[in-house]
Amino acid sequence: MKVNKILLTGSAGFIGYHLVQKLLESGDFEIVGLDVINDYYDVKLKHDRLRQHGVDAVGLNERDVVLSEKFPNYRFVKADLADYEFVVDFMLAERFDYVVNLAAQAGVRYSITNPRAYVHANVEGFLSILEGCRHSKVKHLIYASTSSVYGLNTTMPLSESMPTEHPISLYSATKKANELMAHTYSHLYSIPTTGLRFFTVYGPWGRPDMALFLFADAIITDKPLNIFNHGRMVRDFTYVQDIVESIFRLIKKPVELPVQWDAAIPELGKSSAPYQVFNIGNSNPVELIEYVEALEKAIGRTAKRNYMDIQPGDVPATHADSRALENYVGYRPRTSVEKGVELFVEWYLDYKGIYGK
């Protein structure tokens, strides 16, 4: 049986870590993980994720490649996606069957104070991936977009057929740019591309700048939680394993031509090119205050609450219409907030115990 070769960027990141695990468990892939391991948040967490897969990346220089000590079908390369010549040459030499691009500069609020980081990672870096896919004839490129592309839309649920021309943060603007760039390459070079609009992903091994991690830290240390929009923020919280299962099912299922698409009445999210975008969300939004209550229950402590106004770049509500994804791969996210938060807390308490030794 032929083993498929896959490049997974952002493999030291939150979703990337879980997807590597899923690919390793499947046994169907030769995997190359790529990450720059920047210091946007604590690099120790990134290195700890990599160690779970047998990779010691401490002290690596950029462009270094290391073999996993646990898994013979896994290699890791430390590299910046914006290192254009290296990335394109590497992809051409490796001849990947599939590419999943999860590497990006994340965070809505950080994009307000550090805009250049987003253009560097999310635009320049994505161009390297597209060019690498073009020259190496990749069978399918999957890339991370975000629910933030819906911007000022207030009609819920949010579906792929809605316009996305009104972003309210540079982060979401760069992700919208990724979708436009992917469409261009799908049209010009027939590269099958699938963009995934993630809705508020959470779970074990999550980023420490995200709400759940920040809230757990505050409760454990008996500090006030900063609760924006006075707890009325509504989010379609989506458990990370549901995200990973969706990606896994999509990898070997690129869009096939011809598609039903009328240029005179263009349907958003689709194209005459081998291009598509999907929402990946739980389709069961809850208020932020309910999220906090689920965390309090799982930890067994009551939080001190500091209610604040909504922050620049934040949207008041998200709610995913994920029917297109379910129809395409026969799966939809289904983990409840209560269960997902409980699983996060189990990991968090264990990890903090290890972390403190």
Mean pLDDT of 34-62: 96
Asked if 346 and 263 count as a contact pair (C-beta separation under 8 A), the reply is no
Kind of pairing between the strands at 4-9 and 29-35: parallel
Based on its alpha-carbon atoms, the radius of gyration of the chain, rounded to whole angstroms, reads: 20
Tokens describing residue 5: 């070769």
pLDDT digits (tens, 9 = 90+) for 145-162: 999 999 999 999 999 999
Question: In order of start, what are the domains of the chain with their CATH numbers?
Answer: 4-205+237-282+320-334 (3.40.50.720)
Ramachandran class of 146: left when φ > 0, alpha when ψ lies in -120 to 50, beta otherwise: beta
Residue in the structure block whose two tokens are 């598509």:
276
CA pseudo-torsion sign 240, 139, 37, 150: negative
Neighbour count for residue 83 (Cβ, 10 Å):
17
pLDDT for 121 beyond 80? yes
Mean confidence (pLDDT) of the chain: 94
| pLDDT average, residue stretch 212-231 | 91
Please give the DSSP secondary-structure letter assigned to residue 123. Answer: I
pLDDT of residue 1: 59
Amino acid at residue number 148: S
Please report where in the chains the tokens 């069957």 appear, as a residue: 97
For 110, 123, 124, 171, the CA distances from 116, given in Å and listed in that order, are: 11, 10, 11, 10
- Does residue 256 carry a pLDDT above 90? no
Closest of 193, 196, 182 to residue 141, by C-alpha: 193
Q: What are the structure tokens assigned to 55, written together?
A: 């990779």
**Burial environment of residue 31 by CB neighbours within 10 A (0 to 12, 13 to 18, 19 or more):** buried
pLDDT attached to residue 356? 40
pLDDT at 253 over 60: yes
> Which residues face 317 on adjacent strands?
234
Question: Residue 354 above 60 pLDDT?
Answer: no
Residues in CB range of 59: below 8 A, 6 or more apart: none
β-strands 98-101, 4-9: how paired?
Answer: parallel
Residues 182-202 have a mean pLDDT of 97
Catalytic positions: 171
pLDDT tens readout for residues 304-330 = 998 988 888 788 889 999 999 999 999
* pLDDT of 211 higher than 80: yes
Q: What is the pTM of this model?
A: 0.95
The count of residues in the chain is 357
Give the model's pLDDT for residue 169.
92
